[in-house]
């Protein structure tokens, strides 16, 4: 099974056991997006550089927890790559609501849901289209 096909639960368990890294998982997701995005057109904005930086930070937290034997205390979403719908504000990431009027808008704040996801340690790979 390819890493990008893992469920969030499967990925979480593999990350905690050290079988995969958040960086490997994120790169697999980014590679898959690159393979199919021309056909699917799901993303309005991709953030591969910041996603890989977030994944590296998650890997550091995961390793520290494994070294201390505290894997079970980690947030469930730590290191899990995901996309955010483009109608939800993400600080520093272009948020257009799929509108030309907002094509250059970069919010200075995160929506509450994004703030909570970031607190969990998710890896944001980009913003997805909306109708």
In tens, the pLDDT along 50-98 reads 999 999 999 999 999 999 999 889 999 999 999 999 999 999 999 999 9
Say whether pLDDT at 131 is over 80.
Answer: no
Residue 39 has pLDDT above 90, yes or no: yes
What's the number of CA atoms in the CB half-sphere (13 Å) around residue 81? 30
Return the pLDDT at 3. Answer: 97
Flag whether pLDDT at 121 surpasses 90: yes
- DSSP class of residue 46? E
- Is the distance from CB of 33 to CB of 2 less than 8 angstroms? no
**pLDDT score, position 79:** 98
Residue 40: pLDDT over 90: yes
Distance CA 42, CA 33 (A): 9
Q: Is 74 helix (H, G, I), strand (E, B) or coil?
A: coil
Question: Domain of 102?
Answer: 3-128
The per-residue pLDDT for range 9-31, each reduced to its tens digit, is: 999 999 999 999 999 999 999 99
Q: Band of the pLDDT at 1, cuts 50, 70, 90?
A: confident
Q: How does residue 48 score in pLDDT terms, banded at 50, 70 and 90?
A: very high
pTM above 0.85, yes or no: yes
What's residue 103's pLDDT? 92
| Structural domain total, the chain | 1
């Amino acid at each position: 099974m390819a890493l990008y096909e893992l469920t969030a639960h499967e990925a979480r368990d593999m990350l905690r056991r050290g079988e995969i890294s958040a960086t490997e998982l994120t790169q697999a997701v980014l590679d898959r997006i690159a393979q199919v995005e021309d056909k699917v057109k799901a993303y309005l904005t991709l953030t591969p550089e910041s996603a890989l930086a977030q994944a590296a930070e998650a890997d550091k937290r995961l390793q520290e927890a494994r070294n201390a034997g505290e894997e079970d205390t980690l947030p469930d979403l730590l290191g899990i790559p995901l996309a955010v719908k483009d109608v939800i504000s993400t600080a520093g990431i272009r948020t257009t609501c799929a509108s030309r009027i907002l094509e250059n808008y970069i919010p200075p704040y995160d929506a509450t849901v994004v703030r909570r996801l970031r607190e969990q340690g998710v890896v944001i790979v980009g913003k997805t289209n909306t109708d």
